[in-house]
Amino acid sequence: MGENTATTTVTGSIIKADQTSIEEITEECIGQINPTQIFQSILASIPAFFDSQQTYISIFSNAQPSWHCTNNTNSSCISNKSNLCSLTSTDWAWDSGNLVHTSIISEWNLECANSFITGMPSTSYFVGCLIGGLVLSTFGDSFLGRKKLLCLSSLVMSLAALASGFSPNIWVYSVFRFLSGVGRASLAITALVLITERVGKRWRPTMAMVGFTHFSLGILALTGIAYLTRRSSWRVLYLCTSVPGIVCSIMCYFLLLESPRWLFMQGRDEESMDILRKLGTLKKDSKINIPQKNSNNTSPFASLKILIKKRWALKRLLTSVILSFGIGLMYFGMFLGVGNLGFNIYLSSTFSALLSLASYLITFLFWIPRCNRRLSLLGFCIIGGSTSIVFSVLGKHHKGLTMGMELVSLFCACMAYNLVLMYTVELFPTCVRNSASSLVRQAMILGSVFDPVLILLGRKNMMYCYGVFGVTMLFSGFMVVFLPETRGKVLCDTMEEQEFRDQRTESKI
């Protein structure tokens, strides 16, 4: 057989393919959805359920507990309105008492600590996400693959979360939160890449929606668990969310199937054929020969070198990073800052999770199949950023209007977050897709690193958090003008194939 051809027999037909044939081969085999693909997509998205819980668990575990005045002779003591630091220890007490600490604030006496100390656990978590993503992002394209990286990330995150519940002080607690962040860094994007590479083009948005839906359901479940355990120690919350995550990690390792696209690119043709047989219509006696273009990319940083070497890829990556930074700063900040709005924290978290869930359904069932990526991202960044700036100026004096505008901003942030993750998957070929997508997501995490401190500052002046969120997202949104449109385009597998398709698209303009 010639060096530049590949032949596969699929359900009795012969397909002759050149160097751009992997998309055709996989589309022919798994283009039609079936129960196996649905089960595999759901299974790959379950870790996102626990990912969201560990990301937003600090809303409840690190919250300021309610308290009451105990000295009726002190007229300056007004429950939950006075400054605790201006009162003596005999003038007030926590509502939960001294035996049960519902938050790290009461257990470790952090009510008068500065913003740096109080926000250190949350900041440590997001710093861990940032560092972990930089270290682990290329492993999914190299020796680990999609499946093993997903299972490893989920397991490390959950084990560190379990250890967090046994922390003796805020310093050890911050270390475990850091390790949990390192573990979950590549989880969401690896799950998204794994899902999209194992179904046909027509079903990618729908199956990707499954993963995002699990993320919102995780927040809803977290809120429910936090409400049910609101009179228990904050350590119980970690126990209830980490143990199921550990079980999920082990289950995924034994039941998940690897991406056939990644196996093709590694030169592991027989293994890829086995996966295609399980996922689709490839018969047992079917033959497929992929040319020697397969890279056997086992070096952890080989894909990163390819991205840097190609000028168009580096430009695309840097532009996506700036865009994602602004979106990430606002997206995570809007969720983590629900306590700053003056509403019931459980109701606010529930509304936020439901709005997030609605955005996922709208994004993947309607928006992605029908709408332009660039114009959509630009529009959501402008509307979300502007609205956030406006209600940060209004402050808490117009509660109804503030809550309404906050929900609009959150919805736009969720839509932009969904779109940019899917957009990034479409911008880069298979050989570097996991690395590029992970690095772009790391830009979002970099934005979230600043959120805990901004949120604490925003308790005094909302401009310090929501104003900063809005301005950053507004200006970063204009970066989409430097990116190509990807709607309706097939996923490329090699850098050469991507270059050829881009040149052909430019020649038509």
Instruction: Give the count of beta carbons closer than 10 Å to the beta carbon of residue 506.
Output: 9
8 Å CB contact between 128 and 180: yes
d(CA 198, CA 140): 15
pTM: 0.77
Q: Residue 412: which H helix or E strand, with range?
A: helix 399-427
**Token duo for residue 70:** 């105990």
pLDDT of residue 8: 40
Q: Is pLDDT of 132 > 50? A: yes
The DSSP symbol for 462 reads: G
d(CA 256, CA 353): 27
The DSSP symbol for 489 reads: P
d(CA 18, CA 429): 16
pLDDT in tens, 464-499: 888 899 999 999 999 999 998 888 777 777 888 888
* Three-state DSSP class for residue 9: strand
Q: Which CATH code for domain 13-63+104-508? A: 1.20.1250.20
8 Å CB contact between 203 and 156: no
β-partners of residue 94 are 67
Q: Is pLDDT of 391 > 90? A: no
d(CA 313, CA 234): 45
pLDDT of residue 188: 82
How would residue 396 be classed by pLDDT, with cut points 50, 70 and 90? Answer: low
pLDDT of residue 5: 39
d(CA 495, CA 432): 8
Angle ∠(334,339,342) on CA atoms, nearest 5: 115
pLDDT in tens, 166-219: 999 999 999 999 999 999 888 888 888 888 888 877 787 778 778 778 888 999
8 Å CB contact between 306 and 432: yes
The pLDDT > 90 percentage for the chain reads 28
pLDDT of residue 21: 56
Q: Is pLDDT of 284 > 60? A: no
* Three-state DSSP class for residue 94: strand
265: Cβ contacts below 8 Å, ≥ 6 apart: 22, 294, 295, 297, 430, 431, 493, 494
pLDDT in tens, 429-442: 877 887 788 788 88
**Of 19-23, 42-46, 390-394, minimum mean pLDDT range:** 19-23
8 Å CB contact between 294 and 267: yes
- Identity of the residue numbered 15: I
Q: Is pLDDT of 32 > 50? A: yes
Q: Calculate the alpha carbon distances from 237 to 108, 226, 407, 446, 457 in Å.
A: 17, 6, 27, 26, 26
Q: Is pLDDT of 291 > 50? A: no
Please choose, from the candidates 234, 192, 198, 227, the residue with its C-alpha nearest in 3D space to the C-alpha of residue 210. 192
Please choose, from the candidates 389, 420, 422, the residue with its C-alpha nearest in 3D space to the C-alpha of residue 406. 389
**Token duo for residue 433:** 């897709």
Q: Which residue has the higher pLDDT, 181 or 347?
A: 181
Q: Residue 240: which H helix or E strand, with range?
A: helix 234-255
How would residue 227 be classed by pLDDT, with cut points 50, 70 and 90? Answer: very high
pLDDT of residue 404: 82
pLDDT of residue 72: 67
pLDDT in tens, 53-77: 999 899 899 888 888 788 766 667 7
In the numeric block, the tokens 């939960």 are attached to 96
d(CA 217, CA 51): 11
pLDDT in tens, 418-428: 889 888 888 88
